[in-house]
Amino acid sequence: MSKPAWTTETIESDGAPPLSARVYGAGGPSGDAPPLVLHLHGGAFVGGDLDQGSVVASLLAEAGAVVVCVDYPLAPAHPFPQAIEANHAALVWMLRQRRRLTGHDARLFVAGEEAGGNLAAAAAMVSRDRHGPLLAGQILLSPMLDACVSTASLRGAKAGPVGCPWADGWHAYLPRASDATHPYATPGSSMRLDGLPATLLITALDDPLRDETHAYAERLRAAGVPVDEAMVPRATGWPVTYLQPEAASAPWTDPVRLRLRRFLLERASGPCLMRGGLCIPRTTSSRRTS
């Protein structure tokens, strides 16, 4: 499959610095608008860029979406909650621009891998709490959700508090200990998950972030959120390989692309409930597959 082309955009919002973004994919004919996805790259909160976000952004576009990949502000220069506010501003911009980007009836999603998965989960919470933009779904690949860096899968990867890129990333992103108690900083420990959009969670057998991904899926289910949970049953090198453009042809991309396409089709079509001008799917199923 050929790599989707992209164009450059500058996201302007009141009272905030402009954000650079890439838009992958193209809108369809009138009345057949593809889903519109805000994509947030990985990099443990302190690294990553639009080039390194190209693998997952391209997979989302190949799955049928128009994807806005945002160059959000990085820690430690921009600690919590600066990236969260920037990403919410990007969602508001996307809602205003959706007719131009894809179509007036396009449904809005958030997606991200590793630290970007954390920020996507936070973006869904902020949109819920601020009553918009309303989301049809969130897509989280190997999200960083446990600031304690203490799960068995992380220990199995010999990741710990010293010399661990995820521990170092958390420390840079949350310089104050009190920040770790905020639900937007650590969505995995949030006490209120009801009202969040349907969620696709993807991990892999060799993923150090596997356990916190599964734990979040279980907590979302308990809160009544429709969850589609998938595990890639092969070596992937996640989350490091998310950031490697040469991974675009890796064997794991095919099953991930198929899961993305199925989730987007289910959530971007069919019966829905109109809220604030957006069509929210009337589906309540929850499943776990490998």
Q: Residue 28: what pLDDT? A: 56
pLDDT beneath 50: ranges in the chain: 160-162, 271-285
- pLDDT tens digit string along 34-53? 999 999 999 999 999 999 99
Contacts of 185 (CB under 8 A, 6+ apart): 80, 81, 122, 147, 173, 174, 179
Q: Residue 2: what pLDDT? A: 57
- pLDDT tens digit string along 135-145? 999 999 999 99
Q: Residue 241: what pLDDT? A: 95
**Measured in whole angstroms, how far is the alpha carbon of residue 245 from the centre of its chain?**
18
Three-state SS letters, 124-184:
HHHHHHCCCCCCCEEEEECCCCCCCCCCHHHHHCCCCCCCCHHHHHHHHHCCCHHHHHCCC
Q: Residue 54: what pLDDT? A: 97
pTM of the model: 0.91
Q: Residue 279: what pLDDT? A: 44
Burial of 15 (0-12, 13-18, 19+ CB in 10 A): exposed
Q: Residue 273: what pLDDT? A: 47
Q: Is the bond preceding residue 183 a cis peptide, omega within 30 degrees?
A: no
Tokens at 45, concatenated: 């909160």
- pLDDT tens digit string along 55-109? 999 999 999 999 999 999 999 999 999 999 999 999 999 999 999 999 989 999 9
**Sign for the pseudo-dihedral over CA of 51, 166, 59, 24:** negative
Q: Residue 290: what pLDDT? A: 56
